[in-house]
Amino acid sequence: MFDYDGTLVPIAGRPEEAYPDAGLKELLKKITSKPGTCLAVISGRALEGLKNMFQGVPLILAGNHGSLLQFPGRRPVALGPVPSPELTRKIAAAAGEAARGIEGLLVEDKGTSVALHYRLAEPQKGLAAAARFRELVEPYLASGYEIITGKKMVEARPRGSHKGLAVNYLISRFPRAFPCFFGDDLTDEDAFAALGSRGLSVLVGRPRETLAAYHLPGPEAVRELLVKLAGFQ
């Protein structure tokens, strides 16, 4: 199980620029073709976006922080809370208002959650917009939303949707597998926590306090590992 941004690919200025290259897709395809091997990408991105990026690669995909999961060729399964579209529209409008007039701010509407990215904005203005977004979303926290922060982004997501849902679901679906999870961001800690000592947890990127038992320096090191896995007979 792999997180996507910052784990399988380096983090890009704009989410849509972090596209999986042909080499990565080929490697993942090769690994999934091995008997007894199963690969999943569990990301904070919208499931639809993941499906578009990994077309033709038979991966299990979990989007929206692991709350929507889909096996290749099957229908998506909701593992977490799905808020009303009306509520999500209000959250998206709040993000739009917080971002208005500030250069470099990106609103990512994921259908159930909404993220405000400020990587490309002036740091002060980015932080101010993030604070404004928090303020505007405050009234919706009682309706089941929560605010999380990640790398240069702040996001309002339905409370209770986190990557641990997908990890637990997959472990229950493959009880005899040895589960491994690789991730770089704070939201991946829920996955590490769910995995516990049942498998292998790997923090990718800069070392920090983490529940992961192992560490790799960055997506390049993950790629090297994938090359090795693809080469095993």
Binding site for Mg ion (CB under 5 A): 3, 5-6, 184-185
Question: Of 94 and 189, which CB lies nearer to Mg ion in the complex structure?
Answer: 189
Q: Closest separation between CB of residue 50 and Mg ion, Å? A: 13
Nearest Cα residue to 66 out of 85, 90, 40 = 40
Q: Closest separation between CB of residue 180 and Mg ion, Å? A: 16
Q: Closest separation between CB of residue 37 and Mg ion, Å? A: 22
Question: Of 20 and 140, which CB lies nearer to Mg ion in the complex structure?
Answer: 20
CA distances from 225 to 20, 147, 210 (A): 16, 34, 21
Question: Of 6 and 80, which CB lies nearer to Mg ion in the complex structure?
Answer: 6
Question: Of 6 and 164, which CB lies nearer to Mg ion in the complex structure?
Answer: 6
Question: Of 3 and 155, which CB lies nearer to Mg ion in the complex structure?
Answer: 3
- SS3 letters for 62-124? EEHHHCEEECCCCCCEECCCCCCHHHHHHHHHHHHHHHCCCCCCEEEECCCCEEEECCCCCHH
Q: Closest separation between CB of residue 70 and Mg ion, Å? A: 19
Q: Which residue is nearest to Mg ion (CB)?
A: 6
Amino acid at 121: A
Pairing status of strand 40-42 against strand 68-70: unpaired
Nearest Cα residue to 165 out of 72, 71, 76, 62 = 62
CA quadruple 41, 44, 49, 53: dihedral sign: negative
Q: Closest separation between CB of residue 47 and Mg ion, Å? A: 16
